[in-house]
């Protein structure tokens, strides 16, 4: 269990203490953008591999155990998580890697980005909570808790980097968006409908969710996530 904890801690530290901090700028100035990104990617991938390997070897320490109600809740939560991930990858977003140019568009936020400017990370937050609830053991709490922490510290770091690189463009974008889902909409700073989000994209998201629920989760991890049959 110690190895799993250290792996999770290192994975969080790489992102929290390097990416999105002044240290990143110093490393880029010394190494160059390309070499820095290469080293960061290798370090991040290595920590992730260690995390997954340590999780597979960790002993089972039950916390609240197998609770059917929580499994049902987890299944319900996973649907918006998958939807957000699919919509995130199919919608131009200035907060995504390489998406900074979108800040200069006439309308910098479109579709799901008006709901939350970090749809993928919000999806990861929901996904991580769902898996912590469904598993109910210490190893799963550490593993999925690691992703939960990263999904929460990521948005302010990304926002700070984009704002520093393009203050004017970011100010326009931030005016009509929010990190908190539906925050900008509730405040009347923007509005969006399903047609703009994309009914086809949403349908693909539902299809991906059903494929994971009924087939892919069992195929990839050997466990059936739904308690129905």
Locate 26 and state its tokens: 């110093």
Task: Looking at the structure, tell me whether residues 153 and 192 fall in a common domain.
Answer: yes
Task: Looking at the structure, tell me whether residues 181 and 148 fall in a common domain.
Answer: yes
User: What is the spatial distance between Cα 86 and Cα 83, in angstroms, rounded to a whole number?
Assistant: 5
Q: What is the dihedral of CA 124, 42, 9, 53, to 10 degrees?
A: 80
Domain that holds residue 179: 61-221
Q: How many CB atoms lie within 10 A of CB 128?
A: 22
Assigned domain for 171 exists: yes
Task: Looking at the structure, tell me whether residues 198 and 109 fall in a common domain.
Answer: yes
Q: How far is CA 16 from the centre of its chain?
A: 14
Task: Looking at the structure, tell me whether residues 65 and 38 fall in a common domain.
Answer: no
Last residue within a domain, chosen from 59, 83, 103: 59
Assigned domain for 228 exists: no
What is the model's pLDDT at position 228?
56
User: What is the spatial distance between Cα 150 and Cα 81, in angstroms, rounded to a whole number?
Assistant: 15
What is the model's pLDDT at position 102?
76
What is the model's pLDDT at position 144?
97
Task: Looking at the structure, tell me whether residues 173 and 104 fall in a common domain.
Answer: yes
Assigned domain for 229 exists: no
Q: Do 158 and 117 form a contact (C-beta atoms < 8 A)?
A: no
Task: Looking at the structure, tell me whether residues 21 and 66 fall in a common domain.
Answer: no
Query: In which residue are the tokens 């009914």 written?
Result: 199
Task: Looking at the structure, tell me whether residues 107 and 165 fall in a common domain.
Answer: yes
Does the pTM surpass 0.85? The reply is yes
Task: Looking at the structure, tell me whether residues 46 and 111 fall in a common domain.
Answer: no
What is the model's pLDDT at position 175?
92
Q: How many separate domains does the chain show?
A: 2
What is the model's pLDDT at position 24?
74
What is the model's pLDDT at position 227?
59
Q: Per-residue b/e over 13-52, b at no fewer than 16 CB within 10 Å?
A: ebbbebbbeeebeebeeeeeeeebeeebeeebeebbebbe
Assigned domain for 43 exists: yes
Last residue within a domain, chosen from 36, 59, 82: 59
Assigned domain for 226 exists: no
What is the model's pLDDT at position 33?
73
What Cα–Cα distance (Å) separates residue 20 from each residue in 25, 88, 154, 160, 168?
Answer: 9, 21, 8, 7, 19
Assigned domain for 3 exists: yes
Task: Looking at the structure, tell me whether residues 93 and 192 fall in a common domain.
Answer: yes
Q: Do 7 and 54 form a contact (C-beta atoms < 8 A)?
A: yes
- In this structure, is the dihedral angle defined by the CA atoms of residues 128, 64, 229 and 52, taken in order, positive or negative? positive
Assigned domain for 227 exists: no
Last residue within a domain, chosen from 35, 59, 83: 59
Task: Looking at the structure, tell me whether residues 134 and 105 fall in a common domain.
Answer: yes
Assigned domain for 173 exists: yes
Q: How far is CA 168 from the centre of its chain?
A: 26
Parts of the chain with a pLDDT under 70: 20, 227-229
Task: Looking at the structure, tell me whether residues 78 and 170 fall in a common domain.
Answer: yes
Task: Looking at the structure, tell me whether residues 31 and 114 fall in a common domain.
Answer: no
- In this structure, is the dihedral angle defined by the CA atoms of residues 24, 25, 27 and 28, taken in order, positive or negative? positive
């Amino acid at each position: 269990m110690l190895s799993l904890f250290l792996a999770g801690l290192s994975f969080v530290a790489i992102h929290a203490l390097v990416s999105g901090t002044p240290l990143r700028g110093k490393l880029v100035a010394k190494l160059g953008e390309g070499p820095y990104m290469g080293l960061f990617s290798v370090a991040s991938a290595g920590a992730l591999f260690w995390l997954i390997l340590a999780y597979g070897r960790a002993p089972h320490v039950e916390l609240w155990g197998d609770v059917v109600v929580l499994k049902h809740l987890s299944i319900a939560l996973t649907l918006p998580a998958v939807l957000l991930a699919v919509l995130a990858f199919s919608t131009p977003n200035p907060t995504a890697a390489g998406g900074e140019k979108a800040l200069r568009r006439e309308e910098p936020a479109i579709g799901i980005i008006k709901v939350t400017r970090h749809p993928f990370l919000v999806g990861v937050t929901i996904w991580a909570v769902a898996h912590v609830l469904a598993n109910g053991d210490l190893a799963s709490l550490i593993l999925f808790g690691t992703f939960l922490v990263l999904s929460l510290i990521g948005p302010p770091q990304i926002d700070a980097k984009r704002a520093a690189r393009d203050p004017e463009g970011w100010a326009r974008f931030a005016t009509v968006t929010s990190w908190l889902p539906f925050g900008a909409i509730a405040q009347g700073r923007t509005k969006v409908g399903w047609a703009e989000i994309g009914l086809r994209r949403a349908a693909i998201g539902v299809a991906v969710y059903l494929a994971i629920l009924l087939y892919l989760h069992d195929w990839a991890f050997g466990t059936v996530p739904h308690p129905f049959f």
